């Protein structure tokens, strides 16, 4: 005996403006989660090959979409090594805080350092206030994060140097200014950096210019946490339709050197925010000679 499925009308998937695909009739609840999931410390016991997260914010305080992807580098997969990149997202009534951390590859506990640093800073509202106040000075101390990493390193049977990690943080004001622009304050330690869409491509952000400057020879020397806690701080402004991206150097180096990759990544954000799966497809694409972990967190303003 065969059982026929109930008729539900048109079974073709509907492609929404936000890049998400829906099959069948719409659900009563919206398809997009409105809260970021809490991360227990025991999640550090397993590092998955790929991590995804996303949130859409559309209320009286502003309209923005966040999409996040972190993928294990192709060479790490080949060698059986774990992903050392991490990201975290924090949301309050007034701001969205995004962090990307890239554990230093030569350090045995860098995956722990990157995960702890990223998670810690998006919930450290006292430090976030210090970062906001550090724009005029151009720098702020992450000594609290550094101390936390040192203490945690011993509880995980590492030394402080073992958990070395870069860290870049964006504090995005949810409510736009009178001109419709969103103000963003950024803080950076190491070579994980920030970008914005421009003319179908990407431009690096920061007061000190592009460290590698488009050179085919990349600067690999970094001064990471916890040994180097001073972060440089600056402010940017984004109009509706523009996208901010925080990336690890596994993505940033490709953006500098591979125009086709940069163009494909920018195209995902040109009209709307992509689905996490669409973003992963480009972020994790094969690019010859670029085999490091890749992390990309984008914020599209509308």
Residue 110 located in a structural domain: yes
pLDDT at 277: 93
Determine contact, residues 103/164, Cβ cutoff 8 Å.
Answer: yes
pLDDT at residue 20, rounded to an integer: 65
Domain-located, residue 271: yes
CB 169, CB 97: distance < 8 Å = yes
pLDDT score, position 125: 96
Note whether residue 5 is domain-resident: no
**Helical ranges in 86-223 per DSSP H:** 110-122, 125-133, 143-155
Report how far Cα 38 is from the mean position of its chain's Cα atoms: 17
Question: E strands within the chain?
Answer: 14-15, 21-22, 50-59, 62-71, 85-91, 95-102, 139-141, 167-173, 182-189, 193-198, 201-204, 230-238, 243-247, 294-301
pLDDT at 13 (0 to 100): 65
Average confidence (pLDDT) per 10 residues, the chain, 302 residues? 47 64 62 69 86 88 89 91 96 95 93 96 96 96 98 94 97 93 97 93 82 46 91 96 97 96 96 94 93 96 91
Of the candidates 64, 43, 49, 89, the one whose C-alpha atom is nearest the C-alpha of residue 294 is 49
Q: Contact, 244 vs 238, CB < 8 A?
A: yes
First CA to last CA distance, the chain: 53
What domain range is 201 assigned to? Answer: 31-301
In a domain, 79, yes or no: yes
Cα–Cα distance measured from residue 280 to residue 50, given in angstroms and rounded to the nearest whole number: 9
Token digits of residue 189: 């330690």
Whether 200 is covered by a domain: the verdict is yes
Output the pLDDT for position 197: 95
Distance (Å, rounded) from C-alpha 165 to C-alpha 145?
Answer: 11
Residue 69 included in any domain: yes
**How many separate domains does the chain show?**
1
Instruction: Give the CATH number of the domain where residue 277 resides.
Output: 3.60.40.10
Spell out the alpha helix ranges (H) of 100-220. 110-122, 125-133, 143-155
| In-domain check, residue 17 | no
Least Cα distance to 164 among 87, 124, 105, 211 occurs for 105
Q: Is residue 189 part of a domain?
A: yes
């Amino acid at each position: 005996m065969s059982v026929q499925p109930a008729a539900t009308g048109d079974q073709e998937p509907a492609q929404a403006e936000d890049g998400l695909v829906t099959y069948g009739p719409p659900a009563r609840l919206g398809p997009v989660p409105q809260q970021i999931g809490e991360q227990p410390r025991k999640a550090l016991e397993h590092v998955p090959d790929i991590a995804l997260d996303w949130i859409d914010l559309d209320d009286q305080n502003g309209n923005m979409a966040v999409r996040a992807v972190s993928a294990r580098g192709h060479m790490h997969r080949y060698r059986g090594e774990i992903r050392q990149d991490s990201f975290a997202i924090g949301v309050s009534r007034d701001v969205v805080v995004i962090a990307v951390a890239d554990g230093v590859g030569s350090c045995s506990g860098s995956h722990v350092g990157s995960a702890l640093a990223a998670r810690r800073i998006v919930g450290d509202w006292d430090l976030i206030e210090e970062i906001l106040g550090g724009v005029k000075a151009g720098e702020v101390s992450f000594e609290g994060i550094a101390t936390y990493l040192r203490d945690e390193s011993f509880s995980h049977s590492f030394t402080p140097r073992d958990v070395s990690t870069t860290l870049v943080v964006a504090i995005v004001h949810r409510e736009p200014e009178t001109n419709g622009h969103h103000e963003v304050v950024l803080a950076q330690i190491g070579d994980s950096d920030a970008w914005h869409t421009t003319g179908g491509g990407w431009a690096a952000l920061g007061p000190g210019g592009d460290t590698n400057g488009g050179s085919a020879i990349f600067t690999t020397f970094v001064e990471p946490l916890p040994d180097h806690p001073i972060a440089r701080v600056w402010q940017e402004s984004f109009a509706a339709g523009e996208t901010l991206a925080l990336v690890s150097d596994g993505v940033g180096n490709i953006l500098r050197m591979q125009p086709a990759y940069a163009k494909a990544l920018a195209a995902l954000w040109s009209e709307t925010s992509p689905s996490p799966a669409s973003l992963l497809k480009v972020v994790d694409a094969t690019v010859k000679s670029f085999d490091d972990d890749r992390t990309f967190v984008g914020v599209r303003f509308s």
